[in-house]
Amino acid sequence: MAIFERVENGAERRHYVVKSPVTLEPIGEFDAGSAADVHGAVERARKAQAKWAQLSFADRAEYLWRLVDVIVERQDEIVDCVIAETGKPHNEAVSMEIMAPCMQISYYAKRAAGFLKTQKRRPSGLMRFSKKIELHFQPLGVVGLITPWNGPVALSANPLAQALMAGNAVVHKPSEVTPLSALLFEDLTKAAGFPEDLYQVVQGDGETGAALIEAGVDKVSFTGSVATGRKVGAACGRLLIPCTLELGGKDAMIVCDDADLDRAADGAVRGSCFNTGHYCCGTERVYVPEAIYDPFVEKVVALTRELKQNEVGDSDVGAVFWDKQMDIIESHMADATAKGAKVLVGGQRNPKFKGFFFEPTVVVDVDHDMELMRSETFGPIVAIQKVKDEAEALALANDSDLGLSGNVWTQDLDKGAAIGARMETGSVSVNDIAVTYGVAEAPFGGVKASGVGQVNGEVGIRGYCHVHPVIIDTTKGSKGMGGYPYTIEASKKMQDGFVRKVFGNRFLRKLLV
Ligand code: NAD
């Protein structure tokens, strides 16, 4: 039973029916956009962008403030739509799809002007006497936004706010697993009075996403799997378009000997089960030194047994959002148990429900020969490996092709930060589940196969710009200094003298640059 199914309806466009992962009943349908559709959208967006780029930051921000007003007013509608599509619990739908977007949009509405205002400077070196620089943060044009299904509103609103505040227009190809919330989100921007064609959603599948990249966009902002990220990166490389690739992870949690075990156990369960484990920075591997292993596991087991799972939305762990993810979770668990892993809680698809529910699970005796500890599982599973000490935990944490985020638990905050700094990941949290994506000031992005480039905050929003230096000469002629009128003799004299006098003297050399 597939959650979205291609249905032949005789029409030219590929037609899909979308089903609820809870009831498995149809809840909507859509046509996949063709190459002509995305080309048309990009052309219209380009016209809208030309006018949008003329607006001041304050005027652009006003549209975003209105969007936040609309999200607050229509939050129940958004939450209902996301729950229908994903089966996530109500509380998580509100925190991830309402709270987070309100924070993200407000942050860039308020701060973009500061991040992107023209900077005026003097250059270093000799040029400081004759030039000044202006750095203009110019929009790139039309951004192609391609997003996944695990946070349909949050993972769209955040890059959208950044791209728009930087002066770009956006054509968005949302996930085929969550097309309805994307359409609703586009409707919210209309209700907020966004200029026509500034933000357009083109529904579709991977083929539509690939066509968007080819449709003349000026940047691709991609969030999704490693496998698709490689294709997107290759296409952008061929077309010489900049892109950010926010990809999958296999985040490790390191529990130190001196950790507050109650808090760490709670963090392990929450980090692994939040959003049904469909969290790019979800905790996928937990390493625990033998000295504290038994009490830690006992606490994790007790907490996991208490987790509620139901179909009505007030649960702790919701549905698996779609069938393909259920297949991956089941295959990783089957591989782990076949290789000797021991299931202490859960471990299987929940037989109580018709829909795609996987029981909150605790599994131990795992090792790096198992898929469960190597490839992204994206399920509500706490996988705990016993280690000798913190050094072995760190070595195993770093034994991965992926490097998105991670977390360290200890009462010695300096030690936590030191271990965190040695984790080969894009970011790290100490004494919390991975929270980097929610901290706007922290540049977010993976290392190794987890991504290319960083998003969020000042670094992220500047990624939606070309930094355009304008160098202005402030002299009115500098005869004899190698300036205008230019002569080889004057230039040579100036350079010879300078190299000897200034670069021949360590003090002056440092003073100059
Ligand atoms: P996916 O790669 O299957 O799909 C992502 C998007 O790409 C979808 O909209 C899809 O239609 C589109 N797509 C598919 N093929 C394409 C192609 N050839 N060209 C262009 N677009 C194409 O990923 P998914 O299953 O939707 O999302 C889950 C993955 O996303 C997980 O690996 C998760 O870790 C990752 N993720 C990463 C972050 C992050 O910030 N690093 C955040 C959320 C999710």
d(CA 74, CA 399): 45
Cβ atoms of residues 350 and 296 within 8 Å: no
- For residue 322, the CA-to-ligand 1 centroid distance in Å is 14
- Residue 313 Cβ contacting ligand 1 at under 6 Å: no
Are the C-beta atoms of 68 and 102 separated by less than 8 Å? yes
- Residue 447, φ and ψ in degrees, nearest 5: -110, -175
Q: Choose, from 92, 246, 376, 390, the residue flagged as catalytic.
A: 246
pLDDT of residue 482: 55
Residue 492, number of CB atoms within 10 A of its CB = 11
Q: Which atom of ligand 1 is nearest to the CA of 228?
A: 2
Does the CB atom of residue 228 touch ligand 1 within 6 A? yes
> Whose CA is closest to atom 22 on ligand 1?
206
| Annotated catalytic residue 43 | no
For ligand 1, say whether the CB of 247 is within 6 Å of any of its atoms.
yes
Distances (CA, A) of 307 to 273, 274, 486: 10, 11, 78
Where do you find CATH 3.40.605.10 in the chain?
26-247+458-466
80-109 average pLDDT score: 97
Q: Which residues contact 189 (CB under 8 A, 6 or more apart)?
A: 67, 198, 199
Q: pLDDT category, 478, cuts 50, 70, 90?
A: low
Surface-to-core class of residue 494, CB atoms within 10 Å of its CB (0-12 exposed, 13-18 middle, 19+ buried): middle
214 lines ligand 1 (CB under 6 A): no
225 residue type, one letter? S
Atom of ligand 1 nearest to the CA of 227: 2
Q: How far is the CA of 173 from the centre of ligand 1 (A)?
A: 11
Q: How far apart are CA 165 and CA 23, in angstroms?
A: 39
pLDDT digits (tens, 9 = 90+) for 417-459: 999 999 999 999 999 999 999 999 999 999 999 999 999 999 9
With cut-offs at 50, 70 and 90, classify the pLDDT of residue 11.
confident
Residues 386-398: tens digit of each pLDDT = 999 999 999 999 9
Given a cut of 70, is residue 480 above it in pLDDT?
no
* 8 A C-beta contact, residue 198 and residue 164: yes
Provide the pLDDT for residue 451: 98
Note the pLDDT tens digit of each residue in 336-381.
999 999 999 999 999 999 999 999 999 999 999 999 999 999 999 9
State the DSSP string of 102-122: HHHHHHHHHHHHHHHSPEEE-
pLDDT at 153 exceeding the cut of 90:
yes
Residue minimizing CA distance to atom 13 of ligand 1: 206
Determine the distance separating the centroid of ligand 1 and the alpha carbon of 450, expressed in angstroms: 12
Q: b/e map of 50-72 (b: 16 or more CB within 10 Å)?
A: eebeeeebeebbebbebbbebbe
CA distance 386 to 390: 11
- pLDDT score recorded for residue 477: 65
Q: How far is the CA of 151 from the centre of ligand 1 (A)?
A: 11
- Over 90: is that where the pLDDT of 245 sits? yes
What pLDDT is stored for residue 495 in this prediction?
Answer: 85
Cα separations in angstroms, 328 against 226, 367, 376: 15, 18, 9
For residue 47, what are its two tokens?
Answer: 């016209």
| CB of 284 sitting under 6 A from ligand 1 | no
User: From the alpha carbon of 376, which atom of ligand 1 is closest?
Assistant: 32
Compute the distance from residue 224 Cα to the ligand 1 centre, in Å: 2
Query: Region 312-316: what's the mean pLDDT?
Result: 91
Distances (CA, A) of 420 to 395, 406, 409, 417, 426: 12, 8, 10, 5, 11
Q: Per-residue pLDDT for 3 more than 90?
A: no
Average pLDDT, the chain: 96
Do 158 and 104 touch, CB atoms closer than 8 A? yes
Write down the pLDDT at residue 7. 85
Q: State in Å: Cα 147 to ligand 1 middle.
A: 6
In this structure, which CATH number among 3.30.70.1150, 2.130.10.10, 3.40.50.720, 3.40.605.10 belongs to the domain 26-247+458-466?
3.40.605.10
Q: Residue 418, CB half-sphere, CA atoms under 13 Å: how many?
A: 9
Pocket test for ligand 1, best of 225, 324, 325, 329 (most atoms within 8 A of CB): 225
246 CA to middle of ligand 1, Å? Answer: 9
Question: What is the predicted pLDDT for the residue at 491?
Answer: 84
Tokens of 208: 């539509």
Query: CA–CA separation, 490 vs 483, rounded Å?
Result: 8
Q: Does position 70 have pLDDT exceeding 60, yes or no?
A: yes
Strands 447-448 and 219-223: unpaired
- Ligand 1 pocket residue status of 216, Cβ below 6 Å: no
Q: Is the CB of 377 under 6 A from ligand 1?
A: no
Which of 397-416 are b and which e, b meaning 16 or more Cβ less than 10 Å from the residue's Cβ?
beebebbbbbbbbbeeeeeb
Residue nearest to atom 15 of ligand 1 (CA): 206
User: Does the C-beta of 176 come closer than 6 Å to ligand 1?
Assistant: yes
Residue listed under structure tokens 């110019």: 138
Please state which architecture CATH assigns to domain 251-437.
Answer: 3-Layer(aba) Sandwich (3.40)
CB 247 within 8 A of CB 446: yes
Residue 248 burial (CB count, 10 A)? 24
The confidence score (pLDDT) of residue 479 equals: 57
Specify whether the CB–CB gap between 28 and 179 falls below 8 A: yes
| Cα–Cα distance for residue pair 468/137, rounded to 1 Å | 6
**Average pLDDT of the segment spanning 395-421:** 98
- Residue 224 Cβ < 6 Å to ligand 1: yes
Q: Is the CB of 236 under 6 A from ligand 1?
A: no
- Distance from the CA of 206 to the center of ligand 1, in angstroms? 9
Contacts of 300 (CB under 8 A, 6+ apart): 265, 268, 269, 362, 382, 384
Determine the pLDDT at residue 123.
Answer: 94
Q: Is 281 in the pocket of ligand 1 (CB under 6 A)?
A: no
Report the alpha-carbon distance of residue 177 to residue 179 in Å, rounded: 6
Q: What is the pLDDT of residue 1?
A: 67
206 lines ligand 1 (CB under 6 A): yes
Query: Residue 72 above 60 pLDDT?
Result: yes
pLDDT tens by residue, 141-151: 999 999 999 99
Any ligand 1 atom below 6 A from CB of 252: no
Ligand 1 atom with the smallest distance to the CA of 229 is 2
The residue with tokens 């996530």 is: 88
pLDDT for the residue numbered 129: 87
pLDDT band at 475, cuts 50/70/90?
confident
Atom of ligand 1 nearest to the CA of 437: 40
What residue owns the CA closest to ligand 1's atom 8? 175
Ligand 1 neighbour 60 (Cβ under 6 A): no
CB-based contacts of 258, cutoff 8 Å, min separation 6: 410, 411, 412, 415
Tell me what the mean pLDDT of segment 495-500 comes to.
Answer: 86
| pTM for this prediction | 0.97
Residue spans in the chain of domains classed CATH 3.40.309.10: 251-437
**What's the pLDDT score for residue 187?**
98
Supply the pLDDT for residue 19.
Answer: 96
Query: What percentage of the chain exceeds 70 in pLDDT?
Result: 99
Q: How confident is the model at residue 481 (pLDDT cuts 50, 70, 90)?
A: low
Average pLDDT of span 467-478: 88
Q: Are 102 and 72 in contact (CB under 8 A)?
A: yes
Phi, psi torsion values for 392, nearest 5 degrees: -65, -35
Does residue 246 have an active-site annotation?
Answer: yes
Residues 321-342 have a mean pLDDT of 98
Which pLDDT tens digit goes with each residue over 169-196?
999 999 999 999 999 999 999 999 999 9
- Residue 374: name the closest of 256, 242, 250 by CA: 250
Nearest CA to ligand 1 atom 39: 246
The residue type at 38: V
- Counted residue by residue, the chain has a size of 513
